[in-house]
Chain A
Amino acid sequence: MRPDERSLVKKLEGRPFALIGVAQQGGIFRNLKEFMVLEKMNWRSFVDDGISDQWMVRGTPTLYIIDTTGMIRHRWFGNPGPKVIDGALEKLIKEADLDRKDKSK
């Protein structure tokens, strides 16, 4: 999934969008930072210190879309693919763009 995530971050640079990770510990790489550099992960991640438990996450990847007001708008268990994610984001980001333009007037 990481190439898709990298493309998403690049494509939406400058738009009202953020990809935020929650990095679970205890995998193959002991050093999360090393792994993120290796994978060229150009987005920020929380170190998971109980966050997965708080969000009842049972497997990875689990993805949430949260809108500009902080409301949860969508959830996927597993990677639905870039087209599905793009489709879900498109409407929300357009609304966010318009909202920004209105506020700047």
Chain B
Amino acid sequence: MRYTPMITLVVALGAACSYAAKGQQEKTELPFAAEFEKLKAAVDKLEESHAKRLGELKTEDQKAALFEVHIREATPLAEKALALVVGNAQDPAAVEVLTWIIDRGWGNWESTVVEKAADLLIQHHLKDRRTHNVVTGFAHLGMPWTEKMLRALVAAELPAKEHALTLFQLAQCLQGSAEFVPDSKIFDARRLKRVELLYGKDNVAKMRMADAAKLEAEAIRLFTDVADNYGNVEYNLKKLRDHAASAIYIIRNIGIGKTAPEITGEDIDGKPMKLSDYRGKVVVLDFWGHW
């Protein structure tokens, strides 16, 4: 069943990042353009082949094994792309390759390659809007490299609106990291393996042991800062003030690890029912519609 938003949101990744970095807005001709295009084409072909093979498999074990094979096959391509720019990473031409490595990395190659690309962007291209653009889509996942990049962007003294967005996204990142801690406690072996492939095994080990309460406290502090000082900035069709208020409510009341608020209501036959009636059972609470 397709996930249907109750209102249609147009999520324009990086749409709010409108600042111009000096000398970096124009597209620079890549000296290694041909090689980079070959690598991109090879990744596209590999993804296509993976999707086709996935459709032919029956069991979850087979699918998991294919995913591992895909990561193993795609990682050298990303490493070759990184090698094209690592010796001259400060060149604005490198940004296109580095952001591609990050943008396409999820579910394609090992996180170590993504982390190296992120480090180079942090070191050389913090004020290039493409750096902010690329991390925007990953902020909520709460991975170490996204936190590192967002902290660097917050410290980079970007123009006011972009600064507000990076503060908000850092708060989202910390919220995601906080939720990962209790969430990961119910991973079965297959899910854990998959998450380790996506995030990196060492990263997952660290993330599982993080202090969730401390992460939540910092997230709330940042959301409050955003609401108080940048509340009128528009983001995804709403003001940051409203986004921040929702996020704080979720952290305090319905975040993973929190006690579920009581629900009191009626069923379809008009009979009273309460969520607490099911205490002592494992409950799947399913919000559904019939659109």
Contact = CB atoms under 8 A, between A and B. Distances in A.
B273 A46 contact: yes
A20 B286 CA distance: 6
Interface string A36-55: 10000000111111011011
Contact of B281 (A36, A52, A61, A68): A68
Interface stretch (B72-80, B121-129, B261-269): B261-269
A91 interface: yes
A98 interface: no
Interface string B238-274: 0000000010011000111111110101111100010
Given A46-B273, A47-B267, A68-B279, A91 B186 contact: yes
- Band of interface residues on B: 35 or more
B248 to A, nearest CB: 11
- Band of interface residues on A: 35 or more
B263 A70 contact: no
B186 A73 contact: yes
B6 interface: yes
Interface of B: 1-7, 60, 179, 182-183, 185-188, 190-191, 246, 249-250, 254-261, 263, 265-269, 273, 275-276, 278-291
Interface of A: 1, 5, 8, 16-24, 27-29, 32-33, 35-36, 44-49, 51-52, 54-75, 77-79, 83-85, 87-93, 96
State the 9 A-B residue pairs at the shortest beta-carbon distance, nearest first.
A78-B3, A27-B290, A87-B188, A24-B289, A59-B5, A60-B289, A64-B285, A66-B283, A46-B265
